[in-house]
Amino acid sequence: MSLYRTELRRLVKRRFTRYMTLLGLLVLLAVVVGTFLTNEKLDADAIARAERQAEQSYQEQVRWTAQEKAACEAAKAAGTADDGRYPDDCSVISPPPREAIETSWFLPSTFDFRESFAETLIPFAGILALVGFVIGASFVGAEWSTGGMMNLLLWRPRRLTVLLTKLAALLTGLLTVTLAAAVAWFAGFWLVATFRGNTEKMTAGVWQSFTLTGLRAVALVLAVTAVGFALASLGRHTAMALGGVVAVMVVGQFGLGILLDMAGVRFPEAWLLPTYAVAWMQKKVTLEDWQSCNATVFGECKPDTFDVTWQQSSVLFVVGVAVILGAALWAMRRRDIS
């Protein structure tokens, strides 16, 4: 029997794999349903209602301004206007122009597919990456902790072939689930936009951009899955991978972020992994240093900026995955199996 088919069957038959996959898909479904319930389609009634609310807000501003102006004049007449509450000239207290109160402020939330769908791919990638990491770590970690790896190597003594075949079966299974979930994700939010928003201005270029972002999400899921698999193989236990990621996120990320902030380092987010994950998905993340102030000819204060691009993120991820996976393969080849 083929080792690859055997490992793929073992992956699919594991109850932990099924339960974690089901849990991840239920969370994704909850996101889609929640978005559907918290948005609504804009019609003439909704726009008219928003216009009435904007007019009501403007009238409230007019009444409040009139009261404040009258109070200012009364304080001036009584000689008690020197407490700093009112300006020297009460006539400057005037209501804002009507156009300053925008109708869009009072419109209900609506899902614009063109404007909002790309943002939904970030939680999609994050949820499935977490599922893939845990499944990958458990898939090989359980083999080490239960002695299954030793038994397998008695049947197929080529260590690297066994480990890489396990990884190939794992990535195949996660790729299948992720692609199916991505198609359902696109379809689900298209329905949300159809019934609770709009699908206008969807050009071929927009679809291409969404497709490329979706492919980057798939690549991120597979990379995180491979890292979980490699860490568990290095430690020969699932807890090695889970403990490692907790240490990296809690100590290495939050602790490092606090330390960099206390040290006054410029752009501390550039040293944190989540920044590169977001940059990978959004193509670019612009960091701002508000401690600097570059005045413009108009008197504005412009902070210094630093761009983290998806190309930089790809180099970091490729090197990271290669190093961790390479260490797992080296350890598999060099250490005793016992």
pLDDT in tens, 220-252: 999 999 999 998 888 776 666 666 666 566 666
Contacts of 197 (CB under 8 A, 6+ apart): 39, 41, 42, 110, 111, 112, 113, 116
**CA 322 to the chain's CA centroid:** 24
pLDDT in tens, 156-171: 667 788 888 899 999 9
Contacts of 212 (CB under 8 A, 6+ apart): none
Contacts of 164 (CB under 8 A, 6+ apart): 329
Q: Phi then psi for 295, rounded to 5 degrees?
A: -70, 140
Is the pTM here over 0.85, yes or no? no
- Residue with the larger pLDDT of the pair 322 and 255: 322
Measured at the CA of 282, the angle between CA 279 and CA 288, to 5 degrees, comes to 55
**Which candidate, 90, 61, 65, places its Cα nearest to that of 75?**
90
pLDDT in tens, 24-56: 999 999 999 999 999 988 877 878 888 888 888
Q: How far is CA 202 from CA 112, 117, 249, in A?
A: 10, 11, 38
- DSSP code of 241? H
Residues of the chain with pLDDT > 90, as a percent, come to 39
297 — pLDDT class (breaks 50, 70, 90): very low
292, containing H or E segment: strand 284-295
Q: Phi then psi for 306, rounded to 5 degrees?
A: -145, 125
Contacts of 159 (CB under 8 A, 6+ apart): 153, 332, 333, 337
Question: Where are the domains positioned within the chain?
Answer: 3-40+111-334, 44-106
Q: What is the DSSP string of 72-127?
A: HHHHHHHT---SSSS-S-GGG--PPPGGGS-GGGGSPP-EEHHHHHHHHHHHHHHH
Residue recorded with tokens 């689900």 = 188
